[in-house]
Structure formats: structure tokens, C-alpha cells
């Protein structure tokens, strides 16, 4: 009988009945689920958004707090809470609030100035409202001539018609004829009064169009900025500027004074109310600090890195056990040529990429599941490239930290310096680059090293490094309530200088004992060049330096004493820092300065001034030589600036022309005022403008993504709002209005932790709030009006269609094309860095042989790889995130809309590998690992034998990169097929060049295998191995473009619509 049965537990595990259901020691109750929900991010989002929208509703339902356009505050709150605030941290909320105020004070005031200038230029400053406001004191009504003429002629005639009607009408006919008479009588009075007011000069409408077109040009240039955050800032400023111009069409009715006091100032009040709502929700309910988020995210990255290092150490140890057990590693066909081995390796990597739907490269250094001898399955760990991808979230959180002051009431880490965490992030990326390289090579390397002796020292070093990384992860995440999380009171202490010296000596001793006895023969039977062993040892040395530097940065950020660490290796030179670096190293100044620039609108005005300078310089290029002009006109950002400016100018022109020619063309000014205001507030052209300003995007897919979601979610939110206001009594109840808006916004916010859903949720709440609050009796006096809903939906639909047509038909640029352009630039720049590294290799070898003097040419730095590879790859990731509809939304026409082009993530993984190999090659320059005496003759022999083959392989790679560009730019099926055929031939040529290079290593190694290895020689071999790996990745990219169906993912003008149904052009 099992123990569980003896104890009377029917669900317990028994020794003699292993299949019996496991006993559950603890089962969560309903209260546990409730507590878990209350502590979840979804509930925090819901409470903050519900309270925030309730704060804005108060300005519509509380009489003493109301103002013109108060209902807009509730409508725009969703934009600030879901989209502009980036996340729900204090820094994110403050950014969402300040950007509202700053853009209104800059773009909104600029729009008001444009409208005022156009109104004043036409010769009058009064609207119809002024005459009624002044009453009998109006100079117009005091004009005796007009009044006398009106009394003698028109009024007498109208009254005479009334007397004649009364005299000629009997009691039987009055019920039938009186309504018609009253209609005609009122119309006559209305026409007579309308003729008293002066007609608005047509010049006003024309000037409104012209002035906007002129002023919006620098705004459009700034909107096309390469920096995404700058583009968003200018898009909001342009949106507010155009909104004031659209509202300026009411100036003939309101007059210039009412326009500024009610419309422009009303929008400023709307921005201030939203800013107040953001501040209240961020500081009073479920407070979350962006500084704390950075620490938690860094802790998770360190934890994943430590787990991966531990797994690598386990793999190396298992290789040694397998070797002692007599297991054979290399089982390739003996009859294969070197070229066949090279191309089989490339094809295997390409197939792994194609099989991975997410575009993530598979780990080719895994054990077979059948060989797992552990009783408990080893937990899954993230790959190095996946962990590197998580660093992007840290960078986003660090950007939000700029808007949050680390005060005690906000963050656990009071006085946190953002600059210190930026240094930690850079150290993490450098460390992860080494880990990614080790992950790729450690299986082959350990197979080589086992023939040279015991691997326990290497396994021990890796395990100790993993433990140190995991300890750093723990100290960063340790932010318990009422417990200090920085300074001397933190229990964690860094490793001392003696520890790091011991680690390095242990690794040096292991390498000296192992490398001299290892069989480094380059065999055609192996899947690599058999130089992975020395590369792994060099990676271990680099990893020690990376972790040591990362630990120093963590200590610096947490104010922990670093006396035991050699600070001279890590401490930056304070004297060399400029004013900008000194400001950003302060904990409080950056957020104060940035909030000041945003709130005052100075940031927007500064960008506009810079855009004006660009326009002047660009005009000079246009008037210069044809080559410069052509290069300027082909710039995609210049094209988008023109498209954005043209699209918005046409939008304003269309709205103004409709209101001018169709609604303000009568001789009766009162009739014009009635038609204008009715059309404006019922059909709401302002929504047409808002949709166009938001949905005209850099890429066609981005415009379609926003336009489709905007239409569908506007219809959904508007419909729900209309049904909510069907009951007239509830529609005029202030408590109901506040409660239903808070409830709906809170319910929608439950899905806000999923970043991809926030844009859709914002659109739904935006329309719902606008329909509900604008129908409240105290706001717009249109309770139960159907048009308040239909006008919003129709204007939004027309704006969406217009935005798609502008983005699609005017200089179209597709997301797949943009991402492939970025990836080709990465490929080209990576190859350029590879050539420079090869030149440095030659210079170092010749310097070691004392044949040349050192040159002053600057050495490559890790920043060069970051600029050439990491930043562009991050841009590709952003494009995939922003412009592809998330399939989980399952909305009408969206879940199958615009599938991700498969070729983009396929190439993205290979390009990330190129960046890793380049980083490691650069880091080898500063690795003083081996100290054996140089064998100058042998080094020179290696250089002379492989130099021509390396150059030949680089030339072949350059040809492949050029052909890749042709294939990426193919515009038709015939052109694409021809490009693929040409690329396939170049890929084969590159494979032959790589095989020839490997054969050269084989011949050289057979002659010098028994010689003693020197330090410069080992570094040269390791760099050569990294060079071979980089060339291999280029080979794989060429193969993917030439032989996979993913190459067909292209978008062009006529074939783009096919992608809406999940199909591609060819």
C-alpha cells in the first residue's frame, strides 16, 4: 500500500501505483482568484482609466466646472491613457499629459494664429454673434437708414400679408391654412433679418486654405523625422493645429473674440484637464514607477542569461562524459568534398530558418530528446537572441524614465540615476553578444576540447559566472516594501578583485594546458573549421570581463561600495564628459528640463525651426546639380513629408470648400450661419480631419492598419454609446453619465496590458465617450440625437478611405519594402565592417612580425556594430510591431489583414547573428589571454596562405550582397525570377570561395599542427573562424532569397490589395 493510501488520502501519489492522480496540497479558492485579480496589471489599468475618465466627466456634468468643449476632454482621455502615455507608470502618464498641453500650446495656438490672420486680413473682426450679443446697442441696428427702409418697405409688406390672411380666412379654413402661412411668415421675417448683416468676404476662406498650406509645410517635414518619438510629437501638434483651422470655419458666426475665448482656450482647458487626470491617476492609484520597471526587466534578463550560461556549462560537462564513454561525434560521409560540406551546412541553416514561423533561428547545438538521461526534464531556457530582444523593452522603459523624477512617493529606488542603468543595459548587450556566440559554438568547441584534457576547469568557470549573474538578478529585483534596495544596507556584495584575478588565471592555465595538446586539424568531416575551441576560450575570457564590468555598473547604480573592484578599468573619465552628459547623469534635472520643454511647446517650435532650416537647404539642393536633386527626391523621408503635407492640405481645402461653397453661399447670412453650424455639429468634419492626420502614414500598411481599426472601433464604440443614451431620463442623469463612462473605460482597460490592443481600445473608448458625454443635456443639448453618432462614424469612414488612398496612390512605400531596405543596409554595412576587420588582422600580424609601423587608423569599436546592425534591426522589430494587425483582436477585416512578410523575420535572425560575430571579432583585440612567444614565420605563413582566399571570399560576398539588393527590389515576376537565378549562381560562387578558404586552412594546419601556438596566431585563428561564420550567414541569406518561396513577399501598387486576403502578388 502506498503512503498516501495509508494516510487515507485518495488523491495522493503511491509508490506501487505511479499512474494514480497526484495529490494536490493546496487548491486556490475563489478569494485567492479575487486577490490575484486585484493585484494584477489588468485591474490596475482598469482602475486608473476609470478614475481618469470620471475626472474628465466632472467638467461636463458639474455646472460650475463646465466650459466650452468640455466633452472633448472625456473623448481625448482615451488617447492619452491608452496610446500617448506609453504605459501606466508615473513617467508614462506624465508624458501623456504634458504632450497634450505642449502640443496644444504650440500646434493649437499656431492654428489659432493662422485663422486669426486670415480673418483679420479679410477686413472685419466681427461675426454674426457679435451683433446679437450687442443687441440694440449694435451700430448696425442703430443705422437709421437700414431700420427705416426695413420698417417702410419689407416690414410693412410682411405685416400686410398677415392682415390679408386674417381677413380672408374663415374659421373652417384656418386649421388647414395657418401652418403654411406661419412657415412662409417666419421665412419672410428670417430673410428680412438676414439681409441686414454684411456678407463675409470670400478672401477669408481662400486665405484660410493658403495660410494652412504654408505653415503646415515645416510641420510635415518635422513629422517625417527618422526618430519615431519625434514623429509622434509632431503628428499630435499638427493634429491640434489643423483642428483649430477646421473650427475656424465657425469664425463668421462666432467672431474672432469668441473663437479665441471659446474654441482655442477651450482646447487648452481640455489639454489641462487631461493632464490633471493623468497626474491624479498615476500618483494616487496603483502607483508604478518606470525606474522600478527597469530594475525588474533587467533582473529578468540577467536571470535568463544566468540560466543559459548554466545550460551551456551543463552541455560542456555532458560532452566530456560522452567522450569518456567512447561516443563518436563526427559521423559525416567520408566521401563528401569540402564544398559539399560547406553547402550542406548552409542549406541546413536555411531550412531551420524557414521552418521557424516566427523567424527565430533554431539552436543547432541541442541534445536529442532520446538522449536525456535525467529523471527530471531540464527546464526550457531562452536563447541568447531571444534575451537580446528583451533588451528593447528595457530601452523603452529607460526612455520613459526621462519623464519621471525618482521621488520617495513614486519609486522604491529614490534618487535613481538613469545614466547608470543605461550603462548597465550597454553592459548587458555586450555580455549577451558573447553569450550568443558561445551558444552557437559551445557544442563543437567542447567536442574539440575533450581531446585535450579535463574540461572541469572550464565547466567550473562557466558555472561560477552563471551564479554571479543570477545573484545580480536577485539584487536588482529585491525591492520589498519598507526595505532598502540600495546602498550599504543591501546584503549583496560584489566579488572582489582577487576573485576575478583567480578566475582569469584559472582560465589561462586551462587554455595553456589544453590548446597545446588539442588536435586542431581542420577536417572535411566536421561541420565547422575546428577552431571553435580557441574561440570558446576567448569568449570565456571576454565574458569574465563583461560580467565584471556589468557588476561594477550595478554597484554604481545601487550605490554599493566598489572598493574591492579595480575601478580604473571601468570608471569613465568625468573630466571628458560634456554638459549634456553631466545633466543626464543627474537624477532629477533631465525630467525637469524635458517636462519644461514639452509643457511650454518649446520642443515643437524648436523642431519646426529646424525643419525650416532643412527646407532652405533642400531648396538649394533642388536648384543645384541633377545628381543632388535626384538623390534628395528619392529620399523616402522627403517623399513622406511631401505626401503628408499634400494630404493634409487637401483635407483642409476640402472641408473649407464644402463649408464655403455649399453651406455659406446664400445671400441670407442667417441662413448661412444655420447651414454652417448644422453641418459642422451634425456631420462633424472635424472627425474627417482627425482621421486623415492620424492615418496618413509613412507606409501603406501602417495607414491601412490604422484606418481599418479606426473605422471598425469607431462604429463599435459609437453604436454602444448610442444604445446607452436611448433612455432620455438616464441620458440627462449626471450620476449615470459618470458611472457608465467609468465602467466602460475600466472594462476596456482590462486588456490594456497587452500592448497590441491599446490602439483599438483607445478608439472604442474615444467614440463611446464622445457620443455619451456630448449628448448629456448640460453639454451639447442633443440628448437622444442620432446624428451625433452617425456623423462621427461617417466622417471617420470617409477619412479612413481618404487616408488609404493618399498613402497608397501618392508615392507609396510598403512595409515589406521598407524593412527589406533596412535589412539590405545592415547586410551591406556588416560586410563593410568585416572587410575593415580583415585589414586590421593583416596590420596586426605584420606589426607582430615587425615589418610595418603602427598606423594611426582608428580601430573599430562596438559602437560601430551597434550603429550598423543593432539599431536598424531594432527599427525592423518596431515596424513589425506597429504596422501588423495582431491576430488576437479578431475584428472585422483585421485578423486576416496584412500578414507579416515571411522573408523579413527570416533575414532578421541571420543579420542578428552577423552582428554577434562582428562584436566578438572586435572584442578579441583587447583579449591578452595567451603569453607564449610568437612564432613569426608560422604566423606569416598562415597570413600568406589564406590572404588571397579570404579576399576572394569577401569579393564573392560583395557580389552576393549586390545581387540580394536586386532581388529585394524586384518589381515583377519576370524580374524577380531572373534575379533569383542570378543570385543562386552567386551563392554557389560564394560557397566555392568558402570551401577554398577552408581547404587552405586544412593544408596549412596539416603542416603546422605540432608547432607551438602563439598568442597572435591564436587570435588570428579565432578571428578567422568568426570571419568564416559571418561569411556563412551571408551565404545563408543569399540562399533564402534565391531558393525559398518567402522571396515572393513583395507589395506593389496593383497587387497590394491581394495581401488583404492573406495572399501575395506572385
Q: What is the pTM of this model?
A: 0.82
Chain segment 237-247, per-residue pLDDT in tens: 999 999 999 99
Full DSSP string of 630-659: HHHHH-HHHHHHHHHHHHHHHHHHHHHHII
How many residues belong to the chain?
Answer: 1066
Residue 279 has pLDDT above 80, yes or no: yes
Average pLDDT rounded to a whole number, residues 868-893: 66
What CA–CA distance (Å, rounded) separates 712 from 725? 20
What CA–CA distance (Å, rounded) separates 795 from 658? 13
What CA–CA distance (Å, rounded) separates 718 from 768? 5
In a shared domain, residues 901 and 1033: yes
Residue 447 has pLDDT above 80, yes or no: no
Residue 804 has pLDDT above 80, yes or no: yes
Cell reading at 83: 496610446
Identify the residue with better confidence: 976 or 233.
233
- Predicted confidence at residue 515, as pLDDT, reads 62
Chain segment 207-229, per-residue pLDDT in tens: 999 999 999 999 999 998 878 78
Radius of gyration of the CA atoms of the chain, in A = 36
Chain segment 3-32, per-residue pLDDT in tens: 333 333 333 333 344 444 555 556 778 888
- Predicted confidence at residue 906, as pLDDT, reads 72
Chain segment 402-417, per-residue pLDDT in tens: 888 888 878 888 888 8
Q: Are 917 and 1033 in contact (CB under 8 A)?
A: yes
- Predicted confidence at residue 664, as pLDDT, reads 67
Distance between terminal CA atoms of the chain? 68
Cell reading at 330: 563526427
CATH code of residue 917: 1.20.58.220
Identify the residue with better confidence: 688 or 490.
688
- Predicted confidence at residue 509, as pLDDT, reads 77
Identify the residue with better confidence: 382 or 720.
720
Is 549 domain-assigned? yes
Is 227 domain-assigned? no
- Predicted confidence at residue 683, as pLDDT, reads 79
Residue 89: closest CA among 400, 471, 304: 400
Question: What is the torsional sign of CA 75, 77, 83, 88?
Answer: negative
Residue 551: closest CA among 478, 471, 459: 471
Q: Are 514 and 1010 in contact (CB under 8 A)?
A: no
990 confidence band (pLDDT: 50, 70, 90) = confident
Last residue of one domain, picked from the residues 555, 586, 617: 586
In a shared domain, residues 300 and 429: yes
Q: Are 837 and 974 in contact (CB under 8 A)?
A: no
- Predicted confidence at residue 180, as pLDDT, reads 61
Last residue of one domain, picked from the residues 554, 586, 618: 586
Residue 327 has pLDDT above 70, yes or no: no
- Predicted confidence at residue 937, as pLDDT, reads 52
Identify the residue with better confidence: 833 or 897.
833
What CA–CA distance (Å, rounded) separates 243 from 237? 10
Residue 365: closest CA among 377, 347, 379, 349: 349
- Predicted confidence at residue 573, as pLDDT, reads 43
What CA–CA distance (Å, rounded) separates 112 from 242? 9
Average pLDDT rounded to a whole number, residues 191-215: 79
Identify the residue with better confidence: 664 or 560.
560
- Predicted confidence at residue 729, as pLDDT, reads 76
Residue 919 has pLDDT above 80, yes or no: yes
Average pLDDT rounded to a whole number, residues 430-454: 79
How many C-beta atoms lie closer than 10 Å to residue 180's C-beta?
Answer: 9
Average pLDDT rounded to a whole number, residues 792-812: 87
What CA–CA distance (Å, rounded) separates 841 from 850? 14
Q: Three-state SS string across 664-688, please? A: CCCCCHHHHHHHHHHHHHHHCHHHH
What CA–CA distance (Å, rounded) separates 1009 from 866? 37
In a shared domain, residues 324 and 177: no
Residue 232: closest CA among 439, 85, 443, 431: 85
Which residues fall within 8 angstroms of residue 354, CB to CB, at 6 or more apart?
Answer: 906, 1040, 1044, 1046
What CA–CA distance (Å, rounded) separates 80 from 923? 44
Q: Are 93 and 285 in contact (CB under 8 A)?
A: no
- Predicted confidence at residue 1015, as pLDDT, reads 61
Is 270 domain-assigned? no
In a shared domain, residues 176 and 308: no
Using DSSP's 3-state secondary structure scheme, residue 732 falls into coil
Residue 367 has pLDDT above 80, yes or no: no
Residue 760: closest CA among 52, 270, 79: 79
894 confidence band (pLDDT: 50, 70, 90) = very low
Question: What is the torsional sign of CA 904, 906, 908, 914?
Answer: negative
Average pLDDT rounded to a whole number, residues 843-858: 54
Residue 799: closest CA among 893, 708, 901: 708
In a shared domain, residues 361 and 465: yes
Using DSSP's 3-state secondary structure scheme, residue 570 falls into coil
Question: How many domains is the chain partitioned into structurally?
Answer: 4
Residue 922: closest CA among 838, 852, 827: 838
Is 105 domain-assigned? no
197 confidence band (pLDDT: 50, 70, 90) = low
Is 469 domain-assigned? yes
- Predicted confidence at residue 520, as pLDDT, reads 46
Percentage of the chain beyond pLDDT 70 is 69
Residue range of the domain that includes 24: 3-38
Chain segment 603-623, per-residue pLDDT in tens: 999 999 999 998 888 887 777
DSSP 369: G
51 confidence band (pLDDT: 50, 70, 90) = very high
CB contact burial 296-313 (16+ within 10 A = b; e otherwise) = ebbbbbbbbbbbbbbbbb
- Predicted confidence at residue 316, as pLDDT, reads 81
Is 873 domain-assigned? yes
Is 485 domain-assigned? yes
Using DSSP's 3-state secondary structure scheme, residue 250 falls into helix
Residue 879 has pLDDT above 90, yes or no: no
- Predicted confidence at residue 361, as pLDDT, reads 45
Q: Are 277 and 77 in contact (CB under 8 A)?
A: yes
Q: CA–CA distance from 731 to each of 192, 558, 720, 771, 787 (Å)?
A: 38, 55, 14, 11, 16
In a shared domain, residues 315 and 451: yes
Residue 993: closest CA among 942, 1027, 944: 1027
- Predicted confidence at residue 1021, as pLDDT, reads 73
Please state, rounded to an integer, the average pLDDT across all residues of the chain: 75
Is 62 domain-assigned? no
Residue 538: closest CA among 515, 566, 555: 515
Last residue of one domain, picked from the residues 586, 617, 649: 586
- Predicted confidence at residue 649, as pLDDT, reads 93
Amino acid at each position: 500500500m502506498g503512503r498516501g493510501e495509508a494516510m487515507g488520502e485518495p488523491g495522493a501519489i503511491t509508490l506501487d501505483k505511479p499512474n494514480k492522480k497526484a495529490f494536490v496540497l493546496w487548491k486556490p479558492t475563489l478569494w485567492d482568484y479575487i486577490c490575484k485579480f486585484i493585484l494584477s496589471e489588468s485591474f490596475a489599468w482598469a482602475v486608473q482609466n476609470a478614475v481618469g475618465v470620471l475626472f474628465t466627466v466632472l467638467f461636463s456634468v458639474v455646472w460650475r466646472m463646465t466650459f466650452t468643449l468640455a466633452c472633448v476632454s472625456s473623448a481625448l482621455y482615451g488617447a492619452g491613457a491608452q496610446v500617448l502615455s506609453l504605459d501606466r507608470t508615473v513617467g508614462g502618464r506624465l508624458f501623456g499629459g504634458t504632450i497634450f498641453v505642449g502640443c496644444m500650446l504650440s500646434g493649437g495656438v499656431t492654428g489659432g494664429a493662422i485663422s486669426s490672420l486670415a480673418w483679420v486680413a479679410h477686413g472685419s473682426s466681427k461675426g454674426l454673434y457679435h451683433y446679437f450679443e450687442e443687441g440694440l446697442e449694435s451700430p448696425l441696428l442703430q443705422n437709421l437708414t437700414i431700420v427705416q427702409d426695413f420698417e417702410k418697405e419689407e416690414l410693412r409688406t410682411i405685416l400686410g400679408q398677415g392682415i390679408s390672411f386674417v381677413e380672408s380666412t374663415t374659421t373652417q379654413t384656418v386649421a388647414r391654412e395657418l401652418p403654411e402661412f406661419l412657415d412662409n411668415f417666419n421665412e419672410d421675417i428670417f430673410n428680412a433679418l438676414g439681409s441686414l448683416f454684411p456678407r463675409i468676404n470670400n478672401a477669408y476662406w481662400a486665405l484660410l486654405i493658403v495660410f494652412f498650406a504654408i505653415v503646415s509645410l515645416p510641420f510635415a517635414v518635422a513629422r517625417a523625422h527618422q526618430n519615431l518619438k519625434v514623429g509622434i510629437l509632431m503628428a499630435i501638434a499638427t493634429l491640434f493645429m489643423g483642428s483649430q483651422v477646421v473650427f475656424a470655419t465657425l469664425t463668421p458666426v462666432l467672431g474672432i473674440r469668441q473663437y479665441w475665448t471659446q474654441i482655442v482656450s477651450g482646447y487648452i482647458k481640455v489639454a489641462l484637464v487631461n493632464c490633471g487626470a493623468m497626474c491624479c491617476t498615476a500618483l494616487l492609484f496603483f502607483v508604478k514607477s518606470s525606474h522600478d520597471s527597469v530594475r525588474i526587466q533587467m533582473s529578468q534578463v540577467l536571470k535568463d542569461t544566468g540560466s543559459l550560461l548554466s545550460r551551456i556549462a551543463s552541455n560542456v560537462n555532458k560532452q566530456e562524459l560522452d567522450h569518456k564513454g567512447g561516443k563518436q561525434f563526427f559521423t559525416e560521409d567520408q566521401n563528401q568534398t569540402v564544398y559539399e560540406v560547406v553547402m550542406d551546412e548552409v542549406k541546413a541553416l536555411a531550412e531551420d530558418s524557414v521552418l521557424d514561423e516566427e523567424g527565430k533561428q533554431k539552436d543547432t547545438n541541442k541534445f536529442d530528446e532520446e538522449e536525456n538521461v535525467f529523471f527530471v526534464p531540464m527546464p526550457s531556457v531562452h536563447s541568447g537572441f531571444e534575451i537580446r530582444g528583451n533588451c528593447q523593452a528595457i530601452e523603452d522603459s529607460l526612455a520613459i524614465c526621462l519623464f519621471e523624477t525618482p521621488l520617495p512617493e513614486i519609486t522604491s529606488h529614490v534618487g535613481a540615476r538613469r545614466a547608470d542603468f543605461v550603462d548597465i543595459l550597454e553592459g548587458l548587450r555586450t555580455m549577451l553578444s558573447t553569450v550568443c556566440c558561445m551558444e552557437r559554438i559551445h557544442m563543437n568547441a567542447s567536442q574539440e576540447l575533450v581531446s585535450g584534457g579535463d574540461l572541469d576547469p572550464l565547466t567550473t568557470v562557466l558555472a561560477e559566472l552563471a551564479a554571479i549573474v543570477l545573484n545580480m538578478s536577485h539584487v536588482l529585483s529585491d525591492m520589498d516594501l519598507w526595505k532598502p534596495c540600495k546602498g550599504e544596507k543591501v546584503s549583496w556584495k560584489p566579488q572582489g578583485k582577487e576573485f576575478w584575478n583567480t578566475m582569469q588565471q584559472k582560465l589561462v592555465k586551462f587554455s595553456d594546458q589544453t590548446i597545446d595538446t588539442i588536435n586542431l586539424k581542420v577536417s572535411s568531416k566536421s561541420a565547422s573549421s575546428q577552431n571553435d575551441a580557441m574561440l570558446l576560450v576567448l569568449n570565456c575570457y571576454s565574458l569574465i570581463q563583461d560580467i565584471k564590468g556589468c557588476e561594477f555598473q550595478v554597484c554604481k547604480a545601487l550605490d554599493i561600495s566598489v572598493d574591492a573592484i579595480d575601478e580604473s578599468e571601468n570608471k569613465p573619465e568625468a573630466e571628458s564628459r560634456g554638459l549634456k552628459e553631466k545633466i543626464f547623469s543627474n537624477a532629477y534635472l533631465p525630467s525637469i528640463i524635458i517636462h519644461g520643454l514639452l509643457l511650454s511647446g518649446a520642443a515643437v517650435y524648436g523642431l519646426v525651426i529646424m525643419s525650416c532650416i532643412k527646407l532652405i537647404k533642400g531648396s538649394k539642393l533642388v536648384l543645384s546639380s541633377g545628381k543632388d536633386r535626384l538623390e534628395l527626391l528619392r529620399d523616402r523621408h522627403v517623399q513622406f513629408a511631401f505626401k503628408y503635407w499634400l494630404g493634409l492640405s487637401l483635407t483642409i481645402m476640402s472641408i473649407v470648400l464644402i463649408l464655403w461653397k455649399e453651406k455659406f453661399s446664400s445671400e441670407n447670412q442667417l441662413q448661412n450661419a444655420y447651414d454652417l453650424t448644422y453641418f459642422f455639429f451634425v456631420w462633424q468634419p472635424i472627425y474627417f480631419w482627425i482621421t486623415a492626420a492620424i492615418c496618413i502614414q509613412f507606409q501603406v500598411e501602417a495607414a491601412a492598419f490604422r484606418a481599418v481599426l479606426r473605422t471598425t472601433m469607431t462604429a463599435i464604440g459609437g453604436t454602444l454609446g448610442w444604445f446607452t443614451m436611448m433612455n432620455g431620463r438616464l441620458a440627462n442623469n449626471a450620476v449615470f453619465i459618470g458611472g457608465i463612462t467609468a465602467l466602460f473605460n475600466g472594462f476596456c482597460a482590462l486588456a490594456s496590458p497587452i500592448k497590441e490592443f491599446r490602439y483599438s481600445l483607445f478608439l472604442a473608448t474615444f467614440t463611446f465617450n464622445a457620443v455619451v458625454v456630448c449628448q448629456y443635456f448640460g453639454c451639447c443639448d442633443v440628448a437622444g440625437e442620432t446624428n451625433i453618432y452617425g456623423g462621427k462614424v461617417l466622417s471617420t469612414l470617409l477619412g479612413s478611405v481618404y487616408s488609404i488612398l493618399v498613402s497608397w496612390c501618392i508615392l507609396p512605400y510598403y512595409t515589406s519594402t521598407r524593412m527589406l531596405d533596412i535589412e539590405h543596409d545592415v547586410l551591406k554595412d556588416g560586410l563593410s565592417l568585416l572587410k575593415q576587420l580583415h585589414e586590421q588582422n593583416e596590420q596586426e600580424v605584420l606589426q607582430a612580425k615587425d615589418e610595418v609601423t603602427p598606423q594611426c587608423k582608428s580601430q573599430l569599436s562596438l559602437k560601430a556594430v551597434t550603429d550598423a546592425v543593432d539599431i536598424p534591426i531594432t527599427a525592423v522589430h518596431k515596424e513589425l510591431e506597429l504596422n501588423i494587425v495582431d491576430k488576437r483582436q479578431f475584428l472585422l477585416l483585421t485578423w486576416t489583414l496584412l500578414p507579416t512578410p515571411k522573408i523579413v523575420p527570416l533575414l532578421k535572425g541571420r543579420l542578428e547573428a552577423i552582428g554577434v560575430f562582428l562584436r566578438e571579432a572586435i572584442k578579441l583585440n583587447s583579449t591578452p589571454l595567451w603569453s607564449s612567444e610568437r612564432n613569426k614565420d608560422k604566423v606569416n605563413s598562415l597570413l600568406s596562405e589564406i590572404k588571397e582566399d579570404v579576399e576572394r571570399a569577401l569579393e564573392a560576398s560583395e557580389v552576393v550582397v549586390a545581387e540580394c539588393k536586386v532581388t529585394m527590389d524586384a518589381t515583377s515576376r519576370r524580374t524577380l525570377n531572373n534575379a533569383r537565378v542570378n543570385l543562386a549562381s552567386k551563392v554557389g560562387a560564394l560557397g566555392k570561395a568558402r570551401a577554398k578558404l577552408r581547404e587552405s586552412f586544412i593544408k596549412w594546419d596539416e603542416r603546422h599542427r605540432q608547432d607551438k601556438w602563439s598568442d597572435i596566431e591564436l587570435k588570428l585563428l579565432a578571428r578567422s573562424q568568426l570571419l568564416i561564420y559571418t561569411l556563412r550567414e551571408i551565404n545563408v541569406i543569399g540562399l533564402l532569397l534565391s531558393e525559398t518561396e518567402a522571396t515572393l513577399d513583395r507589395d506593389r501598387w496593383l497587387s497590394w490589395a491581394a495581401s488583404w486576403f492573406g495572399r501575395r502578388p506572385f
